[in-house]
Amino acid sequence: MQKRDTLHAAASRRALGSCSVLRAGQGRGVAPWGHAEFWGPSFRSMEKVRDEVRRMREGEKALVRNYKTYLKALEVEVKGKTPLGTVALKCLCELLTAVPHFNFSENIMGVLVGRIGRRSWDDDSELILNTFVSVFHADLAATYSQALVKLIARMIKERKFQVHPNVLSCMLHLRLRTELTHMRANKKDLKRKGKFDKRKGKGKDKEEGPKFKSEIRKKWQTKNQRKREKELKEVEKEMAEAEAEVDQEEREQIQTETLKNLFVLYFSILKNPGRSPLLPAALEGISHFSHLINVDFFRDLLTVIRKIIADRKADDEEDEDLDPVGASQRVRIRMLGIVTAFELLSGQGEALNIDLGDFVTELFGLLRPLSLDTGIEDPPLMTEATAVAAAKQAQNKGKKAERAPTHTLSTSGLLFRCLEAIFFPRLFASTASAPPLRAAAFAKRLVECALFFPPATAKEAITFVRRLSAKEPKLANLLDTEERMFDGVYRPEMDDPQLTNPYTTSLYELDELADHHWDNKVRTETRKLRDANFV
């Protein structure tokens, strides 16, 4: 018992020592990577310098040496799974978040990436994930993000894509989505402004001479002096512009390289023949950064997404009624594939003129199985970082129109995201418009499913049909129980919207929903649709 208490006391002292060194390290300026003054030839040479400079350099050398020893001790605690492992992990996370420019930052990243790469998920994993998100948010130049993305990608490939999906979710917090777009736009604006200034002759006569305290001194200044100072100012201005341009080009190069590594990882996961738990996160990532993907890859990507959807559909047919949890996850992957396909073709993909009718048919066939899913409104499992991001998204919802990330959506939310992509493409920057026959088929199927949906989803379905009816005036004929526009019979068993012949029937389910549904909000919304109130 005494020996155990002694060991516990020793561990406590070591923990306090680790935290003390952490605070000291955060307050001392350790030289960053490749610091010229510290690592340059002057440090290694035996040139004569003043005593205080020599002492300062020796102190810095000792500081880095002790700092390296400290990091190695923390690494031993983390990898050894000792009682101090959590304390050591927190120290490493604090160092990486507070001072990522310190020496051996990449070594710290390597230790943290190795720890988060386990298939299980615990509080330590959550701490590391939040640390990575903080680094991504604070890294304006993407210097440290580039190294971190490389390490994560290498770890995932070494473990054959069998890691926890939360590991990949931190990539969504990279600043690539806006930074690259802004840099390219600023570059074009600077070029345009330079041409305009040159054409207008701006800046030529501005501040020709130096500023003087007295006008008398300006009079006595010779013409050659004024000319020389003017030339010096022009040279300094050109050098400043060149440095700014080089800095921007370097940042863009780093961002582009980071984006390349990220997409290589995503594509590797999609094409992996094994069943990786990272697939939903990879689809979400491609959807998130779709506007930065080269158009030449779109057709290949859509082919891969079609194969993923077909494989999950085949699994559902084989495993029917055996694994409801797995079936729900497979349905979610199929809908993620549909959203990703439409996101890919939004914006720059419009010029390709690719038909996504098979994805529309896939979603139509999913509606009835989804109406019987009891967990359709259950929120997905989210990490702390994801939950914080979702909370910020909810706070900013009234300030700016932003779509929530798909990994924060329930299955119901994901369903209506797919429907928005198909029938309201203006939100997705697409020019394609759904044919009226397709709109009628979905309206009829959604009203049918509203009889079985939970209240919130049923209300959302009725609201969507109202919006669809306002966009497609022909849908008003479905509210008329007498008039028929087409000959034939309604075929509800078909899972192709083009073959159901929806205009031969009516939305008679609205009477049941408006008069007998137990939820008052659903009844109110249904009455608006039944009374042709589309506003």
368, 445 Cβ separation under 8 angstroms:
yes
Alpha-carbon distance 13 to 149, whole Å?
Answer: 35
The predicted pLDDT at position 15 comes to 61
> What DSSP character marks residue 92?
H
Q: Concatenated DSSP letters for 246-306?
A: HHHHHHHHHHHHHHHHHHHHHHHHHH-SS--TTHHHHHHHHHHTGGGS-GGGHHHHHHHHH
CA distances from 104 to 44, 69, 71, 76, 151 (A): 20, 11, 8, 15, 14
How many residues appear in the chain? 535
Give the pLDDT of residue 33: 42
Tell me whether residue 423 is exposed, middle or buried, using C-beta atoms within 10 angstroms of its C-beta: 0 to 12, 13 to 18, 19 or more.
Answer: buried
Question: What pLDDT, on the 0 to 100 scale, is given for residue 484?
Answer: 62
Contacts of 468 (CB under 8 A, 6+ apart): 423, 439, 442, 443, 475
Interatomic CA distance for residues 371 and 377, integer angstroms: 11
**CA-to-CA distance for 116 and 123, rounded, in angstroms?**
10
As to burial, measured by CB atoms within 10 angstroms (0-12 exposed, 13-18 middle, 19+ buried), residue 4 is exposed
Task: Classify each residue of 399-416 as buried b or exposed e, where b means 16 or more C-beta atoms within 10 Å of its C-beta.
Answer: eeeeeebbbbbbbbbbbb
Contact yes or no for 342/356 (Cβ under 8 A): yes
Look up tokens 């948010």; give the residue: 137
| Contact (Cβ atoms closer than 8 angstroms) between residue 244 and residue 238 | no
pTM: 0.76
Six token digits for residue 412: 């119901």
- Report the distance separating Cα 167 and Cα 146, nearest Å: 16
| Whole-number Å distance between alpha carbons of 53 and 56 | 5
The CA-atom distances, in angstroms, between 393 and each of 135, 169, 408, 460 are 20, 16, 10, 20
Q: pLDDT (tens digit, 0 to 9) for every residue of the chain, 535 residues total?
A: 444 444 344 556 556 666 656 655 555 555 444 444 444 444 444 455 577 778 888 888 888 888 888 889 889 988 888 788 888 899 999 989 988 888 888 999 999 999 998 888 889 999 999 999 999 998 887 889 999 999 999 999 999 999 998 899 899 898 876 655 555 545 555 555 555 455 555 444 444 444 444 555 555 556 677 777 777 777 777 666 655 555 677 888 888 899 999 999 999 999 887 778 899 899 989 988 888 888 888 889 999 999 999 988 887 777 655 555 567 788 889 999 999 998 888 766 666 778 889 999 999 999 999 999 888 998 876 544 455 555 555 555 444 445 566 667 889 999 999 999 899 875 444 445 678 899 999 999 999 999 999 999 999 999 999 999 999 988 988 887 666 656 788 999 999 999 999 998 999 999 999 999 999 999 999 999 998 765 5
101, 32 in Cβ contact below 8 A? yes
Of 138, 133, 153, the C-alpha closest to 387 is 133
For residues 328 and 310, give the distance between their C-alpha atoms in angstroms, rounded to a whole number: 15
**Residue 429 structure tokens:** 């920057």
**Residue type present at position 85:** G
Per-residue b or e along 104-139, where b marks 16 or more CB atoms closer than 10 Å to that residue's CB: bbeebbbbbbbbbbeeebeebbebbbbbbbbbbeeb
